[in-house]
Copies of this chain bind each other. A is one copy, B any other.
Amino acid sequence: MKSKYTTIIDIARQLNISKSTVSRALTGHPNVKEPTRKAVLELAASMEYQRNSLALGFSKHTTNTIGIMVPEFMSTYFPSVIVGVQDVMQAAGYNVVICQQNESYESEVSNMKLLLSYRVDGIIVSHTKETRNFDHFTLAQRRGVPLVFFNRVPDDMNVPNVVVNDYEAAFQAVEHLIAIGRKRIAHLAGPESLVNTRLRRQGYLDALKKHNIPYNPDLVLSYDLTTEKVKIYMKHFLDLATPPDALFAINDPTAIAAMEVVKAKGLRIPEDIAIVGFSNDFSAQLVYPGLTTVAQPTADIGRTAAEMLLQELKAKVKNDYSIKKAPTVQLPTKLIIRESTMVKEKMKKR
């Protein structure tokens, strides 16, 4: 079965020249006479020649393609990081293959193997909430495929990464709740496996400590980021003898799901309970009331990760394997205050 794709050999035969010359003409090698080059390019265009990237990557051991692995893409966070990555990578002449894990560790492992089997030149990763074993990542490193992590970063791997200061951002968010007079601040934390969870919780704890608010373990729950659990835990919080007057949620979907529970119970936001989320998803400004949250520079995160990966790729070509501390870039966050934490006076002004 003859393939329907034109090859350089087809072109060479038609012009009665060698495939080497055709190859040179097509890749822009200087040593080709102008008329020859012109003839090749014209024939290639008319035959709709399309280079075979498989053959190319196979032969050159480099594919000009990078992978990006994200745990999910139903919130706007990861898609917009991806857009940032594509931005930089495409400008640098790389293709970007997107993999989505549905928060499943298994998918993560198989997607990683997939990317490696396609010999991508590098990978940008944010791991799933289930990931506790990082062997598939070290495998990539052993294969000489540079990795750059963002957002969800393994804490025992020396690997370049771009993050925000989760600790500081959480600290500020909680201080904001304290500033509007809240004393019983609950925290819905994420799974222990994520660094973010631990850093944000520490920020929460330290903010309380700074303002002499005793830490109440009953008001902190770690959960698995599923909407059903938010409902259960939130009901639990609200049914306490002395329920919380504020909630700091690990992320916006959590905060929004929590808001539903609060509203269903007939309580008012922020009067009865003020709520703060994290990441400034697109929906944060849509919910009613508007959700106060920590904005992350998503597109910048993607762009920065891409630039770091380009650095790594360049270093690799130069065989620069100096073993030094992998770089960590921290990008700034910004607390966006909306109605979900607006004290009375301010609300009236609107």
- Which residues A217-267 have CB closer than 8 A to chain B? 256
Judge whether A105 is part of the interface by a CB distance below 8 angstroms: no
| CB atoms of B287 and A53 under 8 A apart | no
A119 B282 Cβ-Cβ under 8 A: no
A142 → chain B closest CB, angstroms: 7
A280 to chain B, nearest CB (A): 14
Give residues 117-139 of A contacting B (CB, 8 Å): 117-119, 139
Question: Which of the 9-residue segments A24-32, A38-46, A57-65 touches chain B?
Answer: A57-65
Contact partner of A73 among B63, B79, B113, B139, CB < 8 A? B79
* A179 part of interface (Cβ distance < 8 Å): no
Instruction: State in angstroms the CA–CA spacing of A147 and B340 once bound together.
Output: 47
Q: Which residue of B lies closest to A253 (CB)?
A: B282
- Measured between beta carbons, the chain B residues less than 8 angstroms from A119 are 5, 52-54
A100 and B100 contact, Cβ closer than 8 Å, known pairs A50-B117, A76-B74, A256-B286: no
A58 to B51, CA, bound (A): 12
Q: Indicate if A318 sits at the interface (CB-CB under 8 A).
A: no
Binds B, one of A80-88, A181-189, A193-201, A203-211: A80-88
Interface flag for A159 (CB, 8 Å): no
Label chain A's interface by main secondary structure. mixed
Indicate whether A54 sits within 8 Å of B63 (C-beta atoms), given known contacts A73-B73, A287-B288.
Answer: yes
A93-128 CB contacts (< 8 Å) to partner B: 95, 97-100, 102, 113-114, 116-119
A168 to chain B, nearest CB (A): 28
Kindly list chain B residues whose C-beta atoms are within 8 Å of the C-beta of A33. Answer: none
Does A55 reach chain B (CB closer than 8 Å)?
Answer: yes
Q: How far is the CB of A2 from chain B (nearest CB, A)?
A: 10
Counting CB contacts under 8 A, is A348 at the interface? no
- Complex Cα spacing A139 to B139, Å: 38
A-B residue pairs, 7 tightest by C-beta:
A288-B288, A53-B117, A98-B98, A54-B58, A286-B287, A54-B57, A286-B286
Report if A143 contacts B (CB, 8 A). yes
Interface pair B74/A95, CB less than 8 Å apart? no
Q: B100 touching A53 by the CB < 8 A rule? A: no
Query: What are 27 A-B pairs with beta-carbon distances under 8 A?
Result: A4-B142, A4-B143, A5-B119, A48-B139, A48-B142, A50-B117, A51-B117, A53-B117, A53-B118, A54-B54, A54-B118, A55-B58, A73-B79, A74-B80, A79-B79, A79-B100, A83-B102, A86-B102, A97-B97, A98-B99, A98-B100, A282-B283, A283-B286, A286-B286, A286-B287, A288-B288, A288-B289
